[in-house]
Structure 1
Amino acid sequence: MLIHADADAFLASVEQRDHPALRGCPVVVGPQVVACASYEARALGVHAGMPLRHALRRWPGLRVAEFRGEAYEAASAALMSLFTDVTPLVEPGSMEEAFLDVSALDGGSVEEAGRIAADLRARARRELGLPVSAGVARAKLFAKLASRRAKPDGLLVVDAETEARVRPRLPVADLWGVGAATSGRLHDAGIVHVADLAGWSVETLVERRVTTAMAKNLVAIRDGQDDATIRLPGPRRSVSSQRSLGRATRQRSVIRDALRDNLLRALDRLGDDPRAPTRLDVHVRFDDGHTFVASGPLGERERDPATLVRKALAALERTAYEDDGRGVAMVGVSLALPPAPRAARP
């Protein structure tokens, strides 16, 4: 049995937790574009990706919280630690959600999995101050759909009987990984719900310009054999850090200082990892939401902070941010890492 646990309105919930005056208020996390809206703000019609100035013009009572990357990363680490305290079989999906395999705990029944999920939610609220919604099912698709339906701050358990009843009625457009283009091609073929996949094979779906991987996934979902495998995260492939500048600016010293801080923070996140970065990417997001990335390879064993800061600042200059005309709203850095060495066989 799987649990899909997902913190509600994560960034906004962290702000409401850390700032009691924001609790119960419509809150958005900015600065230029709404990165996250609390459920109070969503009830008004605010959504992520909306230009902040438009949202404030329409709903002047919105409370705006500054984007605090470090606070969200700390909350995410605490949340993942809580998940792994429940079971070591955890597959993170993003910084605020994960699948947990609890099949080996307390008999592995759907009832026990529901109890474990309820306890997990209570602990998240009590220990972390965060609302977490959860869905329980035997496979990932229905666990994810259940947690989505349970929001905000709820729990939904899907037993075998419910799954069998609901599965044929699922719209294919709602299935995991089915985008607008694929959905359109399926609809053109008369496939609107999972039940409509009856009689289709992987080969005939591919003829409709559906990728082979997607065709196999659709057939598996139709047959009730969809993915229930937890994939444990391997060694990380990169470390990164970004910082919102609050108010968009082209001031050279502010942007360079922020980039320097991000580079040193990313290096700090390497910790005891012996691998040296192989590529440096500098990210600059402008006040219109567009992002420019300047990249460059690094020499072997390049871990010297001063050298990396110098190269990051050189990459920043290649973005021509000072001459662009737009203000810089966010600056960040990422360091690509080589594959981890394989463990020696005994």
Structure 2
Amino acid sequence: MTARWVLHLDMDAFFAAAEQLTRPTLRERPVLVGGLGPRAVVAGASYQARAFGARSAMPMGQARRLCPHAVVLPARFTLYKELSSRVMAILADASPVLEPVSIDEAFLEPPALAGASPQEVERFGTRLRADVRAATGLPASVGAGSGKQLAKIASELAKPDGLRVIAPEEERAVLDPLPVRSLWGVGPVAEAGLRKLGVHTIGQLAAMDLREVHGLLGTAIGTELHRLARGIDERPVAPRGAAKQVSAETTFDTDLTAMTAVHDAVARMTEAAHRRLVAAGRAARTVTVKVRSADFTTSSRSETSTVASADLATLTAVAQRLARAAVPEGGVRLIGVSLAGLTDDPPPALFEPAAAEPAAEPAAGPVEPAEQSTPRADDRSAERPWRPGDDVTHPEYGHGWVQGAGHGRVTVRFETRSTGPGKARTLRADDPDLSRADPLGSLA
């Protein structure tokens, strides 16, 4: 039987690495990417920050306590998507069989590696990593094995910025000592059940009688996990289908108590989801609003039309109407809006018209959008026109980013990927020569 080789490429600390790449002053410094509010979470952490225990999905407050000297920046998805597109283009050239998993990782199964030796796979992986770095300037880790599970484990073992090829004869030596949680499909519940039986490692799971595994995990899941534990993984590498929905949500720093503030937040979330809808060239039939109250009770309301719409005003009106029914007693902690029932080539037909919503008053506290979208020019307020991390440009000093602002002044570090560490300059906050800039300008 011809040896099968699956590769998994994972960009190392992608969001933080992109910030360090385009803002050279931050290279080798701890960086946290995510929201700036008290309820925000970490979207990305550099390896320098991880050394102090900070990590992705951790509450930002906790991460900042662990690493108080970290630089905290809002996410710039425009930048990350551009870098991701360059990575995926390299992978597509390397293999026609490609399965993107997220913005920063993908599986590939190059036909040229069918039956190849581990040494040939290693040379292929080395070239692939070099091509990604040449196209993006960023490090990537690559793992290779006989299936997706082993390739994923190999890339984790290769981090940071490395390559690991698991040859068939060493699969058991690599898999057996790993914790069972390393397997796809083993969550906290399954892990707790296996621990009760004294099963802590993948090797111990592989040695179990299949009937015992079925009794604990069920026939379907138990059979799949038992096969993965023994290194049997025949799942194909295949392109993923189009997204079934687009969504956006916000957790507020201060609970919303006014309905007008809720309407305003719903409008912003609908607009964020709508941008993704339009970018994909699609329309939506279903609008869903999710609301989480101050006591963490979650409720949702949905409405489906017979025709799809890509009209922002119509979708917003539907979402605001649904919000009135979803909002509970007391304050609102979180609001999310999702658009589903997606179709291609949006028709002109819209949802049935709804009454216009009243003008919304400002939300009760600063809002951190979950999608971390880049601020638009009209986001500037008289009270605080700049926030740390904003991209700016100046006719004399060029492209830069805001390090801090207050008391009518703003400190900007003028630098890009190619300039090396730049000089910090303090300007008047209302300097007419200072304007917001496209984040992609920092790639220059």
- Residue pairs, 1:264-283, within 5 angstroms: 264-271=274-281, 273=282, 276-282=283-289
Superposed displacement of residue 292, structure 1: 5.5
C-alpha displacement of 1:114:
2.0
1:299 aligned counterpart, secondary structure: strand
Matching residue of 1:29 = 33
Match of 2:232 in 1: 225
Which of 186, 189, 203 is 2:194 aligned to?
186
Distance change >3 Å, CA 245–CA 214, structure 1 → 2: closer
Deviation at 1:18, TM superposition (A): 2.9
Whether the 8 Å CA contact 2:154–2:164 is kept in 1: the answer is: yes
In the TM superposition, what is the alpha-carbon distance from 1:33 to its structure 2 partner?
Answer: 1.9
Q: Show structure 1 runs of 5+ residues with no match.
A: 341-346
Is 1:144 equivalent to 2:148 in the alignment?
Answer: no
User: Partner of 2:305: helix, strand, or coil?
Assistant: coil
> Over residues 199-250 of structure 1, what are the superposed CA-to-partner deviations in whole Å (9 max), with x where a residue is unaligned?
644333222x21222321233235432235213212332234x377997685
2:367 matched to which residue of 1?
none
Deviation of 1:100 (Å): 0.7
Aligned partner of 1:118 in structure 2 is: 126
Query: 2:44 matched to 1:40?
Result: no
3-state secondary structure, aligned to 1:267? helix
Structure with greater proportional helix content: 1
If you compute each CA radius of gyration, which structure gives the higher value, 1 or 2? 2
Deviation at 1:184, TM superposition (A): 2.5
Deviations 1:135-192 (A, max 9, x none): 1111122211111111111111111222143333343232222122212222333433
* Equivalent residue in structure 2 for 1:99, among 103, 107, 123: 107
Query: What is the CA–CA distance in structure 2 between the aligned matches of 1:285 and 1:332, rounded to whole Å?
Result: 9
1:86 is matched with: 94
Query: Does the CA-based 8 Å contact 2:13-2:44 persist in structure 1?
Result: yes
Residues 2 and 100, structure 1, Cα contact 8 Å, conserved in 2:
yes
Matched, 1:236 2:243: yes
8 Å CA contact 2:142–2:158 kept in 1: the answer is: yes
Identity of aligned residues (%): 34
In 2, distance between residues paired with 1:164 and 1:56?
40
Distance 1:199 1:252 in 2: 55
Match of 2:221, SS?
helix
Q: Does 1:9 align with 2:13?
A: yes
Q: Which residue of 2 aligns with 1:324?
A: 331
2:417 is aligned to none
Q: Given the two structures, how large is their TM-score scaled by the length of structure 2?
A: 0.65
Residues 321-344 of structure 1, C-alpha deviations (whole Å, 9 max, x = no match)? 996165x6xx6543213589xxxx
Paired AA for residue 278 in structure 2:
D
Change in 2 beyond 3 A, CA 1:195/1:249: closer
Mapping 1:257-336, distance limit 5 Å:
258-271=268-281, 273=282, 276-282=283-289, 294-305=300-311, 306-318=313-325, 320=327, 324=331, 326=333, 333-336=337-340
CA distance in 1, matches of 2:163, 2:295: 35
CA contact (8 A) 1:106 1:112 kept: no
Q: Which has the higher strand share?
A: 2
- Give 1:343's aligned residue: none
Aligned residues: 331
The aligned counterpart of 1:154 is: 162
User: Could you tell me whether the CA contact under 8 Å between 2:98 and 2:108 is conserved in 1?
Assistant: yes
C-alpha distance in 2, partners of 1:115/1:314? Answer: 58
C-alpha RMSD of the superposition: 3.3
Q: Give 1:279 deviation, angstroms.
A: 1.6
* Higher deviation after alignment, 125-134 or 192-201: 192-201
Letter in 2 for 1:303: S
Give, as a single letter, the amino acid of the residue that structure 1 aligns with 2:210: V
State the secondary structure of the residue aligned to 2:7: strand
Measure the CA separation in 2 of the matches of 1:44 and 1:111: 36
d(CA) in 1 for partners of 2:91, 2:176 = 32
Q: Does 1:255 align with 2:265?
A: yes
The code of the aligned residue for 2:17 comes to S
In structure 1, distance between residues paired with 2:134 and 2:149: 28
What is the rounded CA distance, in whole Å, between the counterparts of 1:175 and 1:9 in structure 2?
21
SS in 1 for 2:112: coil
Shifted more, 65-74 versus 244-253: the winner is 244-253
Deviates more, 1:41-50 or 1:101-110: 101-110
What secondary structure, in the 3-state scheme, does the structure 1 residue paired with 2:243 have?
Answer: coil
Q: Segments of 4+ in structure 1 off by > 6 A?
A: 243-249, 288-291
